[in-house]
Amino acid sequence: MQKLKLLLLSSCCFFIQQLWGIPALDSYQHVVPARIHNAGTVSLSAYYSTFKKHHVFNSHGSPSGLVLWDTHSMLGLYYSATSHIEIGLIPTIFQHNHQSDNLDFPSQIHALAKLGSYTFADSTFMFGMQVSSRVPFHKRNNMPMQSYSTKRIGFGLAGMLSFLPAFFDSWQIHSNIGLYDHNDTDLVLTDNPEDSLVNEKSSKELFYGLSIEKRWQRFAVYTELYGSVFLQKPPLSAYTRENNLYINPGLAYQFNNWIGLTFGLDVLILGQQDKTLYEGNGGYADQKWRKLPNLPTWRFNAGLNFVIYSPPRQKQKISNEAERPIEVFEEEADSFSVSREEFIEKLRNNQKEDQEEFIKQYEKVLEDDRERRKEIMQKLQKRLEEQQRQASPEEDRDK
C-alpha cells in the first residue's frame, strides 16, 4: 500500500511537471543565476531526484539483500516583484527512502528572497544575493542520503555572480557561494536517551557552485560543479556531516518561451569517507550498512519549468537610436516584420560583418516604422482640420 501511495504521488508530481515549472531561461538544477525575470512574472518549478543501490552489506559485513533507494520531489512558486526582487516558496512534496513507513506532506518548506540583475556599469557581469530559510514539518530528521537537516528552522545567505557576454550569450557562466546556519545548538539528533553528543555552537555550512552552459536555439548542455564544507560540523551522530563535492552534467530543452525541461546526473567526487560515530564505537547513530557512504554516490535529476504569467513587454524610449542596448532591440523585434529568432541569432553572431549588416537592416525597419507613424499623424491632422472647417459655417449661421 505504501509503494502504491508513493507511485501515485510520484505520478502526480510528474504530471504537474508536464504543466508547470520556472522560466525556461534558467536550465540549471543546483546553481542559481543572478538574473531576475521581468517584473510581474509568476513561475512554477517541479524537481525530482532519485538514487538506488543494490548489493548492500549490513553492519556485520554480510549481504543484506536490501535494495537501498532514496527519492524526493520539490515544487517551487516564484514571483518577481520588481526587475530586481524575487520571492519564492519551495515545499518538498515528499522525501522518502526504503526505511520510511509513511510519507510526510510537505516534509519541509524553503522560503527565499532574492535581489539580482545588478550589473557593473556596462560590464557583462551580473550579481545578486539571496536570503533563505528552511521550515521543517517532517517527523524524521538526520536522514542518510539527504542533506543534513534538523527539526529546527535554519537560515542562509548566498551571493551570485553571472557572466553573460553580450555577443556570446550562447555561453553562460554562473557562480554561487553562501553560508547556512542549521540552528542546532544543544540539539540531540538520535532517539537514544543516553545520547549526549551535541554541539555547543550551531552547525554552519559553506555552500558553493559553478555552472557553465552552451545553448543553441532550443537545446542546451551544461555542467555544474557544486558542494559544501562544514565550517562548524554537526554533532557526531549526524549522518551527512561529510564535506562533499558533486558534478552534474545535464541537458536542457526549451519548448518555447514558457516551458523548459532539464535532465541531470549528480556524481559524487568528494565525500565518500564516513564521518559519523556509530553505536558500539562511542556514538549513538544506528549503522544500517557498511562500505557505503552516507551521501548518494549518484542521483538522477529531472525538472520541468513553466512561466505562469509574464506581463507584456513595454517598449523603452531612447532618443539616440545608435546607443540603444541590445536588450532593447530584442524587446522591440517582436513589433516589426523582422523575425525575432533570426534577429537575435544574427545580431549576436560572433562575426562582426553580420552584426553590422543586420543592424543596418534593422535601423531601416525602424526608419520605415517612423515614416508610417508620421504618415498616420499627418492624415489625422488633416482630418481634424477638415472637421474644424465643416464646423465653421454652422457657427457663422448661429451668430
Asked, as a colleague might, if the bond just before 106 is cis with ω within 30 of 0, I would say yes
Which tens digits make up the pLDDT trace of 68-105? 778 888 999 999 999 999 999 999 887 776 666 555 55
pLDDT exceeds cutoff 60 at 329: no
pLDDT band at 333 (very low <50, low <70, confident <90, very high): very low
Domains detected in the chain: 2-309 (2.40.160.40), 315-399 (no CATH)
Residue whose entry in the numeric block shows the C-alpha cell 521550515: 135
pLDDT exceeds cutoff 80 at 146: yes
For residues 150 and 188, give the distance between their C-alpha atoms in angstroms, rounded to a whole number: 10
pLDDT band at 262 (very low <50, low <70, confident <90, very high): very high
26 pairs with which residues across the strands? Answer: none
pLDDT band at 332 (very low <50, low <70, confident <90, very high): very low
8 Å CB contact between 172 and 212:
yes
Q: Which of 25, 119, 2, 12 is closest to 78 using CA atoms?
A: 25
For residues 44 and 22, give the distance between their C-alpha atoms in angstroms, rounded to a whole number: 5
* pTM beyond cutoff 0.95: no
